[in-house]
Structure 1
């Protein structure tokens, strides 16, 4: 009997070591995903800063279009981080200054208009003491889509270049914040909880991005849609879903594989299929505001909303208990 206990204990230790090894590898892959995404955001923000500078010098429609494309690329690259309330604390601290949303009272437009009236030669450093509403992607969007005429004046160009310069500085800081793996020192169980929490937080945030503008049936609130000025809210939302899909799979080391290793392939198959279906059937209309104006568009939005809700509840009600993860409250709960 004593020998059997020893054998069983040894087998348990081997199994536990294997699980820990998988968790460590998952942590490394997810960290590398974040670091790579941070570098992509920094690169895109550099392109945006350069495009704004070129636009201010040459000022033609073609250069405006190039700057708008650079803004869209930067915004989409930000979706990898949007809503993830887990990970590097330094990175999380940058979130509001990179993106101020929701802007229900047009705070960005009002504050930028006020800054333009001041007799100040604005620089990126000057914006550090200003509201987060004028420091990030929403402020650059205001210049490029709502008030491009402001770029015809030296004052407007100075402020716009200060905004994109500040975004670029934030991008550099984001790369620095992700140099170290924030999950490396955690126990495998805690790191796994943080991983599921990050995905859950981002799902909540994406659902929130739909709930606000959709409002109650028959009473949409289009100006609460993300990026309504550029008409790219659906483009952003798709980028969020793709980012969450990548986080879930984690290059073959994520929740999908962990579920399969535990014998829950059916759960993994359903989640993988749900993510794939959302991406492949995505509406071609880039603007949520436009979709809210038609019955068919609203129906498509409801379908996407239900798909995200399905993933959320599957993660909470099935994945968490199957992997032995205790799910706590999310950052957006009660909002």
Structure 2
């Protein structure tokens, strides 16, 4: 197959390129060229923000196009200007309007699509992805993959990798974790998702499908992270009111305790019914392996982590927690 990856130089796009090349496909990446493509892939330099940016690709035919864009205008122009037998769009669970029940399937209500070509900020990410889905759905053959939380090597968000890294580098006898250890959480390894995206291209899997790994209790995930890190540190949950007083957020950001959502309406955000994807060939590795791969990435990263607690932030939060517990006993 001749596969065009619109992107291909960052996290998931590069993983898709590697997976396709491993199966013997010809891969061409269309990107700004600010980062290298996978070994063996071709590169066509394009600027998708330019209305005429896809000109170098016109007149060619592709067996499949894989698009990771979140900007509706970019996807609309690609669908209008490029010729392909099948389209694979990397969409997101953010397209859903509600997250108030466990593992919703593809029939859940969606947000309204973004009418504009460019989303003004990340608060409109879900609406933008709905619009991107609508654009590829105008083609004769398409897959929209509503991915969950993508983790593993190259994930600079650190949302999964923070916990095994922190457990490997504790600031005390314990590691501070969210208050709700029963919180449901699911992730998908970047290479498992990438491999299945290539399957979608090969098999021309049709329609919108959820794609993430099995649902786990946060407490079980943290126990696995502790084992992967080889850590003796205890897990110490911090009450929500102590986190709020300290300005520590849920899910992401700095400072934060990731993977936990404190809004009941978003409690099941990361969980998805991915049974259709599994029936269509999605295979996900054990969570322990993804945690180990995430830890290896965290140990060698050179960019700032965008979630979790710094050493000093964790020490400060521990002092607050000690005082809170002392006051409660008084």
Structure-1-length-normalised TM-score = 0.26
Task: Return the structure number with greater strand share.
Answer: 2
Task: Return the structure number with greater helix share.
Answer: 1
Structure-2-length-normalised TM-score = 0.27
- CA radius of gyration, larger in: 1
RCO (CA 8 Å, sep 6+): is it higher in 1 or 2?
Answer: 1
